[in-house]
Amino acid sequence: MKKLIGIISFIVLASVAIAQTPQEIVSRMDEEMSKHEKEGLVMTVDTKIPVMGTMSARTYSLGSKTRMETTMLGQDVIIWSDGKTEWTYTRKNNEVKITNQKEESSESDGDAEMFDGITDGYDVYIDKETAKEWTILCKKSKSNSDNDAPKKMELVIAKGTYKPVSLKTKMSGITITMHNISFGVTERQVTFNPQDYPGITIVDKR
């Protein structure tokens, strides 16, 4: 019996020793994201708007360059940006419009850096846990004076790799979910090349 109790005690103590706080888990995710920062990030962003439904976009980002593929008003659209200029391609018309990018959207937040310090100003808790994932609930701290910060976020992190699986939040009635996240973007993927679209019409509105 003493031997059995000793084994149980050892297992309990070992479990406590390897247990991680939610903040430690998020910190490990930050470290993992930093390792892949220069590789570029790919993810799907679902935006659910009441009455209008859900719009899904596949985004690619590498440094200051981004590419977004989505469907707007029934039309397939691709938007490239280098932080200063935007190229908006409409597949139906085989046309691209070139415009100057608005100042407020000129900073890139689509790469791995967007996850750095994501829980700053939030109290974090482990909401759920499975054999493969942690679900971290992030609640806005009372000391967080950022009026634009969402009140709550749900962050799912993969065990073993510490890579983000998804991030879900709600702002002004709009639900935003980032998922299907991976690393590895080429310069070609985030750069508009007219040769890839034979017969394309280019409208320069700069």
Cβ atoms 60, 40 nearer than 8 A: yes
Residue 180 lies in a domain: yes
Q: Please write the tens of the pLDDT for every residue from 87-99.
A: 999 999 999 999 9
pLDDT at 10 over 80: no
Q: Is residue 8 part of a domain?
A: no
Given this model, what pLDDT does residue 113 score? 53
pLDDT digits (tens, 9 = 90+) for 71-80: 887 889 999 9
Nearest to 60 by CA among 174, 195, 182, 173: 182
R_g of the chain computed on alpha carbons? 22
| Residues spanned by the domain of 43 | 21-204
Residue 135: inside a domain:
yes
Instruction: Kindly state whether residue 2 falls inside one of the protein's structural domains.
Output: no
Amino acid at 141: S
Residue 7 in domain: no
pTM score of the predicted model: 0.81
Structural domains in the chain (count): 1
39 lies in some domain: yes
* CATH number for position 187: 2.50.20.10
Any domain includes 26 = yes
User: Once rounded to an integer, what is the mean pLDDT over residues 46-65?
Assistant: 90
Is pLDDT above 60 for 37?
Answer: yes
Give which of 71, 68, 42, 66 is closest to 55, Cα–Cα.
71
Residue 1 included in any domain: no
Average the pLDDT over 137-156 and give the result: 91
List b or e across 91-108, with b for residues whose CB sees 16 or more CB atoms inside 10 angstroms: eeeeebbeeeeeeeeeeb
Q: Report the largest interatomic distance among the alpha carbons of the chain, rounded to a whole angstrom.
A: 82
Does residue 12 have a pLDDT over 50?
no
What's the pLDDT band for 157 if we cut at 50, 70, 90? very high
Q: What is the mean pLDDT of the chain?
A: 84
- Given this model, what pLDDT does residue 5 score? 46
